[in-house]
Amino acid sequence: MSRSALSAKVFAVYLFVVGPVLVFAPNALLSLFGIAPTGEVWIRVVGLLASCLGVYIWICAGFRPFLEASVYTRVLVFVVFLVFAIKGLVSPMIVVFGVIDLCGGLWTWFALKADARSSASALAAQH
């Protein structure tokens, strides 16, 4: 398994954990991060979407264009969560989730670079 595929699969596992928790016990997770509990369905919808994204990421972990796109979107999640927190739209603790996305995206980016170097070295060794 490539480094980038591993980084994606680890991120998918994170989503496989967070997603169902948000679906079935959202306030337990929210309280851990000091975020006000909610009875609204939106948090459960977010959990379902996180779970679905986990499936897509797991399945597409070896598809380079998908992994490249995931780097940009995970950095975007961090930026948007940070802006939301700065504007006072959400608890600043939401940035923790953004940092997880940012770190996962950066890991994948560096792994993609390492995979490309490994492929280039292997190709050069064959010639």
State the Cα–Cα distance between residues 75 and 82, nearest whole angstrom.
11
pLDDT in tens, 48-85: 999 999 999 999 999 999 999 999 999 999 999 999 99
Nearest Cα to 73, choosing from 98, 95, 93? 98
Instruction: Give residue-wise pLDDT tens across range 77-120.
Output: 999 999 999 999 999 999 999 999 999 999 999 999 999 998 87
**pTM exceeding 0.75:** yes
Q: How far apart are CA 58 and CA 67, in angstroms?
A: 11
Counted domains in the chain: 1
Q: Name the residue range of residue 110's domain.
A: 3-126
- For residue 127, what pLDDT is reported? 63
